[in-house]
């Protein structure tokens, strides 16, 4: 995108935000007309991220036709921006050599991201066709587990010994040229064992005098990341310490690569998406495009929910005599369950969020549990009073008011407890605290709500 210009004014610059409304329609027309020249004209001024957005909005047939007309439009930068599902489809259309060409020019972390998604046989073919150096790096990255820092890590970085001066470092970088990463934000300072001891932000380097030694400019390398670290843990460190980049070191402490904040932004979004969808009982492929994939991503948790709903019904069935004698119990019982479910979901969301941001740790979990149970209890009392009065007036039966009030207090206090204890328990046993916890919590509140309300009702009112 570098572009030498004689004298440029603001008005000469098209902005990405001005992506013309009609460009998608024009692109679809150009594809239908099989006009690669027009397609290139339309896409040329656009940012790869915008081209990727457009391609994602095409139908599968249009995507196929586009790839046939001019596969070179699918550059590495565009492919890297396209969502997982669409990208997998596009790869099926490309020759091995076309994929290899697309990889060329990407930084090593983006290469890994693209290659890790290829089908095993295509991946083998691509690995065989890239340069020996790329192959070695890719195989080393792919040896780390998915969602680890090793997969995200970029192998291009800039490192210098502490005794170098600013001038020496700048001269070195001017000579190194192509070997440096496309963008970097810090020069890592290493000791004689190539272990990071500090970092100098590039902006600080640039405004210092040439004779200044790096040791005077550096901040100590408080944070190092290991390739096997979970990407979520790396993201937490970036957030907490406001990092822009961070060194990744191997077992012996040697600097092997770096993570940069732009990849971390993607990780944060990914992890947040997973939490939100997991809480709602949607499996990973939740944003997939087809009806069938949507069904598959929802059905498992619906099945679990059916099981727990039937369990709740079995509880109700225990009290069928009571209900037959006093239908008011059947009319009111969903209120107790619903309020408990809601209060439990509230506590659960707060707890899952606090776990994700490490605000809920072993140290304060007792206080947290106590607070949620207490908040549930207080809200239980408030809504017990309201609902007790409503029930007593509605059915002209004060005892019914007392029964629903007591059931409400108990269920909301239990809801607050379950909302925290379930995710803490899941985490304790090494499971994701967001997955499955909703179902557990609402099962607890349903069963407790029905048992307490119907049981008390049978005892007191009949």
Cβ-based nearer residue to its own copies, 34 or 367 = 367
Query: In 3D, which of 413, 416, 405, 407 has the Cα closest to residue 450?
Result: 407
Q: In angstroms, what is the minimal distance from the CB of 105 to its own copies?
A: 15
Largest CA distance in the chain: 94
Cβ-based nearer residue to its own copies, 136 or 359 = 359
Q: In angstroms, what is the minimal distance from the CB of 314 to its own copies?
A: 8
Long-range contacts, 379-384 (Cβ 8 Å, 24+)? 379/343, 379/412, 379/416, 380/343, 380/408, 380/409, 380/410, 380/411, 380/412, 380/413, 381/409, 383/339, 383/408, 383/412, 384/408, 384/409, 384/412
Residue 188 host element (H or E): strand 186-190
* Structure token digits, residue 450: 């029905």
Q: In angstroms, what is the minimal distance from the CB of 91 to its own copies?
A: 21
Residues near 69 by beta carbon (within 8 Å), at least 6 away in sequence: 31, 34, 36, 39
Quote the CA–CA distance of 349 and 442 in Å, as a whole number: 13
Q: In angstroms, what is the minimal distance from the CB of 144 to its own copies?
A: 19
Q: In angstroms, what is the minimal distance from the CB of 169 to its own copies?
A: 9
Quote the CA–CA distance of 342 and 404 in Å, as a whole number: 17
Q: In angstroms, what is the minimal distance from the CB of 228 to its own copies?
A: 14
Cβ-based nearer residue to its own copies, 5 or 132 = 5
Cβ-based nearer residue to its own copies, 38 or 439 = 439
Contact between 106 and 79 under an 8 Å Cβ cutoff? The reply is no
Q: In angstroms, what is the minimal distance from the CB of 197 to its own copies?
A: 5
Cβ-based nearer residue to its own copies, 30 or 316 = 316
* 189-to-25, 194, 225, 249 alpha-carbon distances in Å: 52, 8, 15, 13
Cβ-based nearer residue to its own copies, 8 or 459 = 8
Q: In angstroms, what is the minimal distance from the CB of 132 to its own copies?
A: 26
Quick one: how far is CA 192 from the chain centroid?
38
Cβ-based nearer residue to its own copies, 91 or 395 = 395
Cβ-based nearer residue to its own copies, 119 or 241 = 241
Residues near 229 by beta carbon (within 8 Å), at least 6 away in sequence: 148, 149
């Amino acid at each position: 995108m570098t572009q030498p210009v004689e004298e440029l004014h603001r008005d000469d610059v098209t902005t990405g935000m001005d992506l013309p409304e009609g460009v998608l329609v024009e692109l679809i027309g150009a594809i239908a007309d099989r006009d690669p020249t027009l397609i290139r004209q339309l896409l040329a001024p656009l940012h790869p991220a915008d081209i990727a957005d457009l391609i994602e909005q095409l139908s599968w047939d249009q995507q196929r036709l586009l790839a046939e007309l001019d596969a070179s439009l699918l550059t590495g930068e565009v492919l890297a921006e396209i969502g997982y599902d669409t990208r997998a489809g596009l790869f099926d259309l490309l020759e091995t050599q076309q994929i290899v060409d697309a990889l060329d020019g990407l930084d090593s972390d983006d290469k890994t991201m693209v290659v890790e998604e290829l089908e095993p046989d295509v991946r083998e073919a691509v690995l065989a066709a890239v340069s020996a150096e790329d192959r070695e790096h890719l195989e080393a990255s792919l040896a780390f587990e998915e969602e680890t820092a090793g997969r995200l890590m970029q192998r291009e970085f800039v490192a210098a010994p502490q005794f170098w001066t600013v001038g020496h470092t700048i001269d070195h970088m001017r000579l190194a040229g192509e070997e440096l990463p496309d963008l970097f934000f810090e020069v890592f300072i290493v000791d004689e064992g190539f272990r990071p001891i500090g970092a100098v932000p590039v902006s600080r380097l640039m405004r210092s005098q040439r004779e200044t030694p790096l040791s005077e400019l550096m901040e100590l390398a408080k944070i190092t990341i290991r390739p096997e670290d979970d990407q979520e843990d790396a993201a937490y460190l970036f957030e907490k310490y406001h990092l822009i980049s961070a060194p990744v070191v191997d077992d012996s402490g040697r600097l092997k690569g770096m993570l940069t904040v732009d990849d971390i932004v993607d990780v944060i979004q990914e992890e947040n998406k997973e939490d939100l969808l997991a809480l709602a009982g949607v499996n990973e492929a939740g944003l997939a495009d087809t009806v069938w994939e949507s069904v598959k991503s929802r059905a498992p948790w619906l099945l679990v929910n059916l099981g727990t709903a039937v369990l709740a019904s079995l509880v109700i069935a225990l009290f069928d005599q009571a209900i037959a004698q006093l239908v008011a119990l059947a009319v009111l019982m969903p209120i107790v369950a619903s309020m408990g479910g809601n209060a439990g979901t509230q506590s659960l969301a707060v707890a899952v969020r606090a776990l994700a941001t490490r605000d809920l740790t072993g140290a304060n979990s007792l206080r947290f549990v106590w607070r949620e149970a207490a908040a549930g209890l207080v809200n239980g009392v408030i809504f017990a009073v309201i609902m007790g009065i409503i029930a007593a007036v509605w059915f002209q039966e004060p005892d019914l008011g007392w029964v629903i009030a007591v059931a409400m207090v108990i269920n909301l206090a239990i809801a607050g407890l379950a909302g925290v204890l379930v995710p803490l328990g899941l985490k304790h046993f090494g499971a994701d605290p967001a997955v499955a916890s909703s179902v557990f919590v609402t099962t607890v509140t349903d069963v407790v709500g029905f048992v307490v309300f119907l049981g008390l009702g049978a005892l007191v009112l009949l």
